[in-house]
Structure 1
Amino acid sequence: ENKVFVARRIDKLETDLNVRLFRRHNKGYLLTEHGLALEQETKKVDQQIYQIQRVFKDKETELSGKLVISKPSSGGINITPLISKFIKQYPKIQLDILVAHNSDDVDNFEADISVVLTNYPAEHMIGTDIGLLPIYIYGSEAYFRQPNKNDIQDLDWIIWKDDSGRTDMESIIKGIVPNPSIVLRTNSYAEMCEYIAEGIGVSMTSPIGLPSDSKLIPFRKDKYSFDIHLWLLSHPDLRNNAKVQVFKKFFVREIQEYV
């Protein structure tokens, strides 16, 4: 019944516009050239409507309702403890955590605030530089107890491939170790941590990027320490939004023990 209803609506739309928008296929509907053009135009209209809504959203003064937070898809930073604490302090604010695979989530107005690890933030955003997040080489205690793992040249590396493209771990490692022994690559940050805990090798992350129950230890962090900036980004049209401002102040205060 729903399929019949959809088919009728499509027929009516094509009749009203006097163009063919879809090609019927045994697996469903495929957009024609006119259909693709209409799709792009509707996306523009949708974004314009969303921008108008944000003008009014900037006037919000109540610490209640939805707040969309964008965070990296995986790796680098674990903000779970901070989110838990924020919810307890501001129970009327409903957090919507958006996993960002790239910077488009902020640019397309999908997030109110974005937590970003980068040394090159978007210039058109309002940015709060939280500080430098230290990055260390981590491995398991059992791995480092092996007699031949005392020098950085002797280590076996597990490479995390960042889907967002912001972090090129392999290039960083090859910058400090000419011919590193790379035993495994993965685009899953959680699995990377599991492989390290299993004693397969070492990798690079920040203290706040580790699971709360992690027993991994840093390798000579007095000598091998790398920094990356931690930013909070938001749109200029939300500069006066009460929920955005209170989250920023909270995050800046609570994250200080890590930067």
Structure 2
Amino acid sequence: MLDWDRIRVFHAVAEAGSFTRAAEHLGLSQSAVSRQISALEEDLGTPLFHRHARGLVRTEQGEILLQTARDVAARMATAQSLLSESRERPAGLLRVNTTVGFGAIWLVQHLAEFLDLYPEINVSLLPLDAELDLSMRQADVAIRLSPPTQPDLIRKRLLTVHTHVYGAPSYLERYGTPETPDDLDNHRLITYSDNSTILPIPTLNWVVRAGAPDDAPARKSVFQVNNVFGMIRAAETGVGLATLPDYLVPRQNRLVRVLPELEGPSFDAWFVYPEELRHSKRVAVFREFLLRKVAEQAIW
């Protein structure tokens, strides 16, 4: 039977890519980590890493073991959180996956209040424009900007998102304010990176065709960036006009809505989590907290 302690060390080394960084994370000496990996390789009768001067590269067998180690680590974290919830108050680690824009801009401004309400919950925010697999326990819950396709996930609609065109006063003073959609032909546009294979919102770049005939070529953007936060910052500094979800542009923001009658396609945001967490107290209080914060904002 494999030694779980050695698997735990292997997992840390595989994720860190070096004995030194893994040792710092585990609070062990580098030599102790190296000994554990060597002992595990001896138990398995196969090398798990290719050793190079520039770091470690996993072998094929190492890749196989890492997948299992990640799964075991995730399930151990889930078990630890569920066991801690045997007490009266919600407690434990809550891993939240959502897009960069929603997580790093909207959600973080409300987390202090949530943690004050539930001090025994620890939140790990995983803002990625790619979706993590909840059924594989890569995260506990997610806020998705499209309906979940996995049949084993519980869903709750949070809000309907609307998008408009925004620009900075400095940009509008220099280049003028567009009066009609056709005027966008003569403006600098900011879009989500064309090189990205995953759009956080499928219709995020609708401005390139807004108001144009179907047979007209798409407008060219002057600046592309692969996350919504970068789009907001570029618009704020006067790079150009950007189509942004309204909830990401607070009243005190340095952006002005232009062509207010021109609205992009709307879409729903969903709170989702796996069936096995249906009775989790920390998931329930987080869901209700999000619904309350959404209801408090008239911008939706």
The bucket for the TM-score relative to the shorter chain is: 0.7 to 0.9
CA distance in 2, matches of 1:86, 1:231: 19
Deviations, residues 57-87 of structure 1 (Å, cap 9, x unaligned): 7766522343222231236961233323323
RMSD: 3.2
TM-score normalised by L of structure 1: 0.81
Other-structure match for 1:95: 123
Match of residue 167, structure 1, among 201, 215, 218: 201
CA contact (8 A) 1:140 1:216 kept: yes
Deviations, residues 104-142 of structure 1 (Å, cap 9, x unaligned): 253432332212222455432111012311111111234
Unaligned runs of 5+ in 1: none
CA contact (8 A) 2:190 2:235 kept: yes
Which has the larger share of strand?
A: 1
CA contact (8 A) 1:61 1:242 kept: no
Other-structure match for 1:248: 287
CA distance in 2, matches of 1:28, 1:222: 55
Other-structure match for 2:180: 151
Distance change >3 Å, CA 199–CA 21, structure 1 → 2: closer
Distance change >3 Å, CA 181–CA 227, structure 1 → 2: same
CA distance in 1, matches of 2:147, 2:259: 24
Other-structure match for 2:164: 136
Of residues 112-121 and 159-168 in structure 1, the stretch that sits farther from structure 2 once superposed is 159-168
CA distance in 2, matches of 1:174, 1:225: 11
The letter of the residue matching 1:8 is R
CA distance in 1, matches of 2:177, 2:286: 47
The letter of the residue matching 1:157 is L
Other-structure match for 1:108: 136
**Greater RCO, 1 or 2 (C-alpha within 8 Å, sep 6+):** 1
CA distance in 2, matches of 1:129, 1:35: 40
Other-structure match for 1:230: 269
SS at match of 1:115: strand
CA distance in 1, matches of 2:73, 2:276: 17
Of residues 236-245 and 219-228 in structure 1, the stretch that sits farther from structure 2 once superposed is 219-228
Other-structure match for 1:180: 219
TM-score normalised by L of structure 2: 0.71
Match of residue 100, structure 2, among 48, 70, 73: 73
Of residues 80-89 and 180-189 in structure 1, the stretch that sits farther from structure 2 once superposed is 80-89
Match of residue 16, structure 1, among 32, 36, 43: 43
CA distance in 1, matches of 2:247, 2:206: 19
CA contact (8 A) 2:191 2:205 kept: no
Equivalent pairs: percent with the same residue? 21
The letter of the residue matching 2:50 is R
Q: How many residues align?
A: 259
